Amino acid sequence: MDVGFLDSFQKAWLSRSVPQPLAPDAADVLREHGLRVTKQRLAVLTALRDTPHASTEVVLGRVRSDVGQVSTQAVYDVLNTLTHRGIVRRIQPAGSTARYELRVDDNHHHLVCRNCGSVTDIDCATEEAPCLETTDLHVHAPGFVVDEAEVTFWGLCTTCTPSTSSPLTTSPSTTRPT
């Protein structure tokens, strides 16, 4: 896999810069994964570069604005193909719609806002998979080898956090009795 292609996506997202045209090596990444280069596939990759953790509906809107008429099924098919080939990662926090991201080559986790649904990547604390220390694994599951952990942290993002509350006094869906 061409790491430069994925790096360009990460750098664009991290710097919050104005979206740039899709890196020319995106076509090479598709070819390296045995896929034909199509304008729909390139448009989906561009949408995911510009809107990390996008839902299918968001990707569909971006693709339609980029290439014109395209069926909903075509976008689902592209997302499924890119996910199956390891170019895109599909995540689905509990109770949420599926979302897609380009960050596939590491074991990272996600922060999900209970109020607005925003998703933020959080790097692995141990810097290598599975990113968690298991206790008593040998007792509960002798011989089991953990190679990946998927953790979702739930809470309120800075935009949705009321300025007068603290995490110990309120919950996003209910107020605790006093």
- 31 vs 160: CA distance, rounded Å: 42
Asked if the 3-91 domain carries CATH number 1.10.3720.10, the reply is no
Give the pLDDT of residue 148. Answer: 74
CB 28 within 8 A of CB 42: no
Give the pLDDT of residue 165. Answer: 52
Report pTM.
0.69
Q: How many residues does the chain have?
A: 178
Give the pLDDT of residue 153. Answer: 87
Average pLDDT over residues 145-174: 71
Give the pLDDT of residue 7. Answer: 54
Residues forming CATH 3.30.1490.190 domain(s) in the chain: 106-178
Taking 70 as the threshold, does the pLDDT of residue 31 lie above it?
yes
Residues forming CATH 1.10.10.10 domain(s) in the chain: 3-91
- 90 vs 97: CA distance, rounded Å: 10
DSSP percent split of the chain into helix, strand, coil, nearest 5: 35, 15, 55
Give the pLDDT of residue 167. Answer: 52
Residue 66 — pLDDT band, cuts 50, 70, 90? very high
- 80 vs 85: CA distance, rounded Å: 9
Residue 144 — pLDDT band, cuts 50, 70, 90? confident
Q: How many CA atoms lie within 13 A of 13 on its CB side?
A: 21
Helix (H) / strand (E) containing 110: strand 109-113
Domain 106-178 homologous superfamily, CATH: Ferric-uptake regulator, C-terminal dimerisarion domain (3.30.1490.190)
- 175 vs 173: CA distance, rounded Å: 7
Question: Which of the given ranges, 61-75, 87-101, 106-120, 159-173, has the highest pLDDT on average?
Answer: 61-75
